[in-house]
Amino acid sequence: MSFRSSLALASLAALVSAPSAQAAVTLFSDAGAFAAALSSSTLETFTALPLAPALSFDCTNCSVDLPSGRLVDQAQPGIGQRTRIKFATPITAWGGNFDESPGGFGKNLFVSYRLTDGFTTKIAGPQLSGFTGQFFGFISDEPFVFVELSPGTGVGSSERYNLDNMRFGLARVGGATPGVPEPAAWGLMILGFGLAGCAVRRRRALAA
C-alpha cells in the first residue's frame, strides 16, 4: 500500500472516530421507542392538577387545558416570549406529542435545552414544522435542567401549538437506541466514504 493510500485510510479512521463538537443527541419520532430507551421516566398527560412535582413552567402565553389533556401555548418572537419547562433534577431525555395546527401553521418551533452548567444552551434538532399530533423526543449525552420552546423561522408572526403526553427522564446506561443521525455524523460518513473511494482508485491506478 502506498504512503498516500495509507494516509487517506488513516484520515478516514480519524474522521469516523472523532467525536462531535456538539453534545450527542438522538432524535425520536416514535413515542414507544423513546420510552423503551429510558431507564426511568415520568409521563405528564395534563389531565389533573397538580402536575408532576418535578415540573415547573416559565411562560408568558401557556396554560393547561385539563379537559383535553394538553398544554396550550403560543410561541412569539421577542424577549421573554419563550416557554421554559424546568425540571427539579437534571434529566437526559424529553419528548411529547405536538400539534401546530390550532391557529394555522406559522413560524414553526425550535426545541432547545439548558445544560447543568447554567448557561450552555443547545438546539435539540431541526425545527418542528407541520406537526399535527406527531411525537418528537430527544436524548442527550449531557444532562440538562430545562427545555425551551421558541418560534422558528417559518412564515407568520407566531406559532400556536398544543403539547400533550410529555415524557421526561433518564436514558438507559450505554446510550440510546439509534434514532435519527445528527447532520455532523452524516457529513463525517460521506467524507469518509469519499476518502476510501479515492484510496481504492489510487491503488488500482498504481497496479495498472
**pLDDT surpassing 70 at residue 91:** yes
pTM of whole model > 0.75?
A: no
Highest mean pLDDT: which range of 4-18, 84-98, 100-114: 84-98
- Degrees to nearest 5, angle at CA 172 with 166 and 173: 150
The rounded Cα 126 to chain-centroid distance in angstroms is 8
Q: Which helix (H) or strand (E) holds 132?
A: strand 132-151
Residue of 77, 100, 92 whose CA lies nearest to 124 = 92
**pLDDT surpassing 50 at residue 12:** no
Taking only the tens place, the pLDDT of each residue in 129-172 is: 999 999 999 999 999 999 999 999 888 788 999 999 999 999 99
List C-alpha distances in Å: 25 to 73, 126, 150, 178: 25, 12, 19, 10
Query: At the topology level of CATH, where does 23-181 sit?
Result: Jelly Rolls (2.60.120)
Q: So what's the pLDDT on residue 78? A: 76
Residue 145 is given by DSSP the state E
Q: How far apart are CA 172 and CA 63, in angstroms?
A: 32
Burial tier of 35 (Cβ tally within 10 Å: 0-12, 13-18, 19+): middle
Q: What is the mean pLDDT of residues 39-52?
A: 96
Q: So what's the pLDDT on residue 192? A: 55
Q: What is the mean pLDDT of residues 30-54?
A: 96
Average pLDDT, whole number, for the chain?
Answer: 81
Which three cell numbers, joined as nine digits, stand for 62?
401557556
**pLDDT surpassing 60 at residue 10:** no
Residues 6+ apart with CB under 8 A from 35: 41, 167
Which range, of 83-87, 92-96, 118-122, 193-197, averages the lowest pLDDT?
A: 193-197
**pLDDT surpassing 90 at residue 79:** no
**173 pLDDT band (50/70/90 cuts)?**
confident
**185 pLDDT band (50/70/90 cuts)?**
very low
